[in-house]
Homo-oligomer: A and B are copies of this chain.
Amino acid sequence: MPKYSIPKGFRDFPPEIMILRKKVLGIVEETFKKHGYDPIETPALEYWETLKGKYGEEAENKLLYRFKDPWSNRWYALRYDLTVPLARFLSHHAIPLPFRRYHISRVWRHENPQRGRYREFWQCDVDIVGSPYPEADAEIVNVLSEAIENIGLKNFKIKLNDRRILAGIFEETLSLRNAILAYRVIDKLDRIGFEGVRKELSKTGYSNKVVEKIIETISISGSPEKVLDEIEEMYGKNERVNEGIVHLKEMLDFLKYKDKTSIELSLVRGLDYYTGPIFEYVVEKPKIGSIAGGGRYDNLIEIYTGKHIPSTGGSIGVERVIDAGLELGIFKLLEKTYAKVYVLSLKHDKKTYLYALSVASMLRENGIPTHVDVMRRSEQAQRRYALKKGINIIVYVGPKEVSENKVTIYDRMRNLRKVVALEYMIDTIKEFLKNKDIT
């Protein structure tokens, strides 16, 4: 048992996981960049008053890490998402609008740790700051869809809704007192099912009639055209509902993955700041919850900047995407190291080692990640190490190689040994590396 433990809900990433994560995040980042998004970074800490009142009561009291700075007596909080920091950022920086930014970084929430849910996790956010139009919402969904597809997760579905449709139906047409309470219960649908939602709503104090009306409404789901027509017929006279419908219809015109999209009135999203379209990405298998989500937040940035700046954005949850990909066999933890070549020093005198170093330098200058012995181990021990690491090409360097200005190259996968002059080493090894897949 380790004497010093790691805080609960927090994780280390050893090389084989980091190599996979970097690959996945690299694909996501490339997709974001191609769509014209640029990176920003913000502090891990914000003043508590910056984050206060943005995420809902429960998040604020149960999930947000806050603490008193021991020196200044001010309250800090670890950031809870990357959207509020973006809004705060905009009050300090003058950037031409629309501002397309991406932000791939970690956030902290005091969740109950379980599969796909950690207390420290990474988000990949894209946002368009400044546009009120449906084409901006469509672009966000398109970018996220492309990123998820590029990663290799093809079987995702997009759930779509609009906060104005929810507000119009629940707060205006049904005149729900305290609709936020109902939303919070509805948000649990995936976990507790319709029966659970029915029970919790009753407990909250709504009459049976209202509860049934809510259940009826959140049961509405299906292909966008069908559902939007249905809602229009039922609630279209309500102005806010109608605004939502018109916005979603225009958005759908520009959506690349319309066939993967359904409108689900049960989608409410937890965060308080959404004002328009909201969406979530789910995979059927494994049951891991949503892998991405987002929505429009037209009023958030004004709190910080004093200017009305309508915005929309979304976020991919790195841990869920990776957990899902691993479980589906799309990703494999095969690579334990980036190194491709191990330079094995057969003797540990200065002359041989200097030769080994120059051989390693040549390989590195040619872009080939290379290990060289620093343990003064026997040949056998060095070979065993290379094997454990999964490095398949060994370059032997001993007194004979030094005196003849040669190297002995061994390709483990094909059990091939070749003695070549130093000048042919790079070409030979490149050849070996290229043919790796054949064997």
Task: Give Cα A91 to B5, complex, Å.
Answer: 9
Given A13-B41, A41-B13, A370-B34, A254 and B49 contact (CB-CB distance below 8 Å): no
Choose among B91, B106, B353 the residue that contacts A135 (Cβ–Cβ < 8 A): B353
B22 touches A39 (CB 8 A): yes
The minimal Cβ–Cβ distance linking A380 to chain B, given in whole angstroms, is 14
Choose among B42, B50, B369 the residue that contacts A35 (Cβ–Cβ < 8 A): B369
- Residues of B within 8 Å of A329, CB to CB, are none
* Stretch binding the partner chain, chosen from A66-74, A319-327, A398-406, A420-428: A66-74
Within 8 A of B (CB), among A115-157: 120, 128, 130-131, 133, 135-136, 139
The minimal Cβ–Cβ distance linking A129 to chain B, given in whole angstroms, is 10
Determine the residue in chain B with the shortest Cβ distance to A67: B67
* Stretch binding the partner chain, chosen from A97-105, A214-222, A270-278: A97-105
A192 sits at the interface (CB 8 A): no
Task: Give Cα A339 to B388, complex, Å.
Answer: 43
Choose among B39, B91, B110, B139 the residue that contacts A3 (Cβ–Cβ < 8 A): B91
Task: Give Cα A101 to B70, complex, Å.
Answer: 33
A304 touches B39 (CB 8 A): no
Determine the residue in chain B with the shortest Cβ distance to A91: B2
Task: Give Cα A70 to B371, complex, Å.
Answer: 45
Task: Give Cα A247 to B70, complex, Å.
Answer: 43
Task: Give Cα A65 to B227, complex, Å.
Answer: 52
B38 touches A71 (CB 8 A): no
A33 sits at the interface (CB 8 A): yes
The minimal Cβ–Cβ distance linking A410 to chain B, given in whole angstroms, is 17
Task: Give Cα A39 to B337, complex, Å.
Answer: 9
Determine the residue in chain B with the shortest Cβ distance to A18: B39
Task: Give Cα A43 to B71, complex, Å.
Answer: 23
B10 touches A43 (CB 8 A): yes
A334 sits at the interface (CB 8 A): no
A35 touches B370 (CB 8 A): yes
Given A3-B306, A91-B4, A306-B3, A120 and B38 contact (CB-CB distance below 8 Å): no
Task: Give Cα A72 to B44, complex, Å.
Answer: 21
B254 touches A71 (CB 8 A): no
Task: Give Cα A181 to B385, complex, Å.
Answer: 43
- Residues of B within 8 Å of A22, CB to CB, are 39
The minimal Cβ–Cβ distance linking A15 to chain B, given in whole angstroms, is 4
10 closest A-B pairs by beta carbon, nearest first, are A67-B67, A15-B38, A10-B43, A36-B371, A2-B91, A18-B39, A34-B364, A13-B41, A136-B374, A131-B374
Known: A4-B47, A18-B38, A133-B374. 20 other contacts (CB 8 A): A2-B92, A3-B91, A3-B304, A12-B89, A13-B40, A14-B89, A15-B40, A15-B95, A18-B39, A19-B39, A33-B369, A35-B364, A36-B338, A44-B78, A44-B120, A66-B70, A96-B388, A253-B354, A254-B354, A254-B357
Q: Pick 15 A–B contacts, CB within 8 A, sort by A.
A: A4-B47, A4-B91, A6-B43, A6-B47, A7-B47, A8-B72, A12-B40, A12-B92, A13-B40, A35-B369, A36-B338, A36-B339, A36-B371, A98-B374, A139-B372
